[in-house]
Amino acid sequence: MLVSLASNIGHYETYEIITAAARVRVQVNGLMPLITSSTIEFNTGEEVVAELVYEKLEKHYSNCIMLDHEIKDCPQAEKVPHLSATRKQDRLK
């Protein structure tokens, strides 16, 4: 099940099961938006939506969930008024 989930996100490397969660190490395509949730189907046919939490991400912009830029360089920031103002302030610095 974890390998299947990891394969939906990127290239599976390894996993660890802890008390209340599972960790999966996956190589992702940094040019694509990160996947933030995935549906897990059990053998019984029951489905559960899993929220994915990424660890140890360096530069990324959480609104568009891309790894290749920050807010000051986001093309989507121009379309969102409060982000556009932040972007303009960053340029003035």
pLDDT at position 31 is: 81
Residue 24, SS3? strand
Residues 46 and 14 grouped into a single domain: yes
Residues 51 and 73 grouped into a single domain: no
Residues 1 and 29 grouped into a single domain: yes
Following CA atoms 5, 8, 11, 13 in sequence, which dihedral angle do they give, to the nearest 10 degrees?
Answer: 0
Q: Say which residue, 84 or 46, is predicted with more confidence.
A: 46
Rounded CA-CA distance 11/28 in Å is 7
Residues 4 and 45 grouped into a single domain: yes
Residues 2 and 45 grouped into a single domain: yes
pLDDT at position 77 is: 67
Residues 50 and 64 grouped into a single domain: no
Residue 14 lies in domain: 1-56
Number of domains in the chain: 2
What six digits make up the tokens of 5? 């989930």
